[in-house]
Amino acid sequence: MTSSEFENAETIDAPLEGFPSASTGGSLRGVAKNRVALVEGSSPHLSGETRDLLRQRLRIVALLFFGGFAAFLIWMLVFLRSAAPGWLLATHACVTLLMGLMAAYLSANRGLSLGRLRLVELIVFGDPAIYFLVLTRLKLHSMANLTEGAHLPVVLVPWLLLIFTYALFIPNSWSRALSVIGPMGLAPLGVILLQRVTCPGFQACATRQEFHSYTLEQAIVMSVVVATAVVGVHTINSLRVQAFEAKRLGQYVLRRRIGSGGMGEVYLAEHQMMKRPCAVKVIRPEKAGDPRTLARFEREVRSTAKLSHWNSIDIYDYGRTPDGTFYYVMEYLPGHNVGEIVEQYGPMPVERVVYLIEQVCKALSEAHGFGLVHRDIKPANIFCAYRGGEYDVAKLLDFGLAKPVHSGDSLHLTQEGAITGSPLFMSPEQATGE
């Protein structure tokens, strides 16, 4: 690790005897990983989450269709090989193969665009629909023209399967679902009407009492099915939107991760109503490993919220989500910390260093007035921000290790005989665990 990398390393909080593996920067990053799912944008239909969900659902549907068509293909080859036309077996085999290819394609490609996924959706549902059209016409024609026992069969079963599979698996708005499910419902009715006009056997069966209202019955059944499926899509989508909203932290929508540290992860976020950019620091208790970590996180909020100096970071809000995620919201600072500036551009001019340190000292003076000792002053915790039309506004960050001087419960949050801070910048008293 280079000196500049060491300067910006995560804060450690470990027993004096040694640094266990759980305290290393890499392990801390592993603990912090995936604490909160990011939500891109305010519309669930445009989010990366929706695209990933659509890909997963299409993959499941393709696998289910592949298994179903493969099973029926085997059944046809074993029991109906002599009765089924060769072209029908070939068509069935092609549909089966295509479903398998679509499942493999969706498994191998995780970064597909929404447009590409909609094209795959068209193939996964359109190809079986075309096959069912052919099968419906063949079944109606064959059964109506039997020498003995001519009748009009039930032909809606595969269509019901297709419609409800689409409604259950594909994330959609009700209007878009209607535009897809509607044609699926009309397709078999169109075939029935076509046979009624062109097939003498069908016409003869339709004149019989038991089949007199056959077309009307099929139309009513399909209308109920389509309506039920669309309402189901609307219900499922409403629940999905509620789950999407639950991933917001209060009124804040997470955009992207901008940092991580020993205390948690930091995300760029936006207030839902004011559209104000802000930084949200989060930690989940089940990820913390040690209850003291969560308690220290809460102490950071309380400690920082007391401060009002221009050079201390402002706290806007804090709270907990229903799943136990603790978070607090602070001002978003455009710029870089001192460690990053030195790493990228080399040593700072003395005048600039003095200017920044003077501001930090003023912030520390206020903190000391409240009985707080920071204990982790380092370049990575001094931020050079652009605020109020001014550059190089120093902001003092990370009061997570601030130690109250006065007695209280907070004194017990640091393990006795432990060192706290960053090794390269800690005081001798910290290094010896005093």
Residue-by-residue DSSP string for 204-258:
HHHTSGGGTTHHHHHHHHHHHHHHHHHHHHHHHHHHHHHHHHHTSBTTEEEEEEE
Instruction: State how far the Cα of 205 lies from the Cα of 412, in Å rounded to an integer.
Output: 88
Q: 3-state class of 269 per DSSP?
A: strand
At 261 the pLDDT is 64
At 1 the pLDDT is 43
- Cα–chain-centroid distance for residue 330? 24
The answer to whether residues 107 and 59 touch, using CB atoms and an 8 Å cutoff, is yes
Residue keyed to tokens 């931020």: 383
Average pLDDT over residues 332-349: 91
pLDDT of 420 over the 60 cut: no
Q: What is the pLDDT of residues 116-168, one digit of tens each?
A: 999 999 999 999 999 999 999 999 999 998 888 889 999 999 999 999 999 99
Q: For residue 126, give the H/E element and its range.
A: helix 114-144
Domains of the chain: which residue ranges? 3-39+249-431, 44-246
Q: What is the pLDDT of residues 21-39, one digit of tens each?
A: 333 333 333 333 333 333 3
Instruction: State how far the Cα of 358 lies from the Cα of 368, in Å rounded to an integer.
Output: 15
Average pLDDT over residues 200-205: 91
pLDDT of 409 over the 50 cut: no
The answer to whether residues 299 and 47 touch, using CB atoms and an 8 Å cutoff, is no
DSSP collapsed to 3 states, 128-197: HHHHHHHHHHHHHHHHHCCCCCCCCCCCCHHHHHHHHHHHHHCCCCHHHHHHHHHHHHHHHHHHHHHHHH
pLDDT of 349 over the 90 cut: yes
Instruction: State how far the Cα of 110 lies from the Cα of 387, in Å rounded to an integer.
Output: 40
The residue that leads in pLDDT, 315 or 62, is 62
Average pLDDT over residues 298-302: 74
Of all residues in the chain, the percent with pLDDT exceeding 70 is 74
Average pLDDT over residues 332-353: 91
Closest CA to 170 of 255, 245, 234, 217: 234
CATH number of the structural domain 3-39+249-431: 1.10.510.10
**Per-residue confidence band for 413, with pLDDT thresholds at 50, 70 and 90:** very low
Q: What is the pLDDT of residues 259-285, one digit of tens each?
A: 776 556 888 888 877 888 898 888 765
At 21 the pLDDT is 37
Give the type of residue at 149: G
pLDDT of 230 over the 70 cut: yes
> CA gyration radius for the chain?
33
Most confident stretch, 124-128, 172-176, 252-256: 124-128
The answer to whether residues 190 and 240 touch, using CB atoms and an 8 Å cutoff, is no
Instruction: State how far the Cα of 299 lies from the Cα of 353, in Å rounded to an integer.
Output: 30
pLDDT of 399 over the 60 cut: yes
The answer to whether residues 163 and 187 touch, using CB atoms and an 8 Å cutoff, is no
3-state helix, strand, coil in the chain (%, to 5): 55, 15, 30
pLDDT of 14 over the 50 cut: no
Question: What does the mean pLDDT of the chain come to?
Answer: 79
The answer to whether residues 361 and 394 touch, using CB atoms and an 8 Å cutoff, is no
Instruction: State how far the Cα of 181 lies from the Cα of 165, in Å rounded to an integer.
Output: 10
Q: 3-state class of 305 per DSSP?
A: helix
In degrees, rounded to 5, the angle at the alpha carbon of residue 376 between the alpha carbons of residues 372 and 381 is 105
**Per-residue confidence band for 8, with pLDDT thresholds at 50, 70 and 90:** very low
Q: What is the pLDDT of residues 177-196, one digit of tens each?
A: 999 999 999 999 999 999 99
Q: For residue 313, give the DSSP letter.
A: P
Instruction: State how far the Cα of 35 lies from the Cα of 267, in Å rounded to an integer.
Output: 11
Q: Is the whole-model pTM more than 0.85?
A: no
Locate 359 and state its tokens: 């501001």
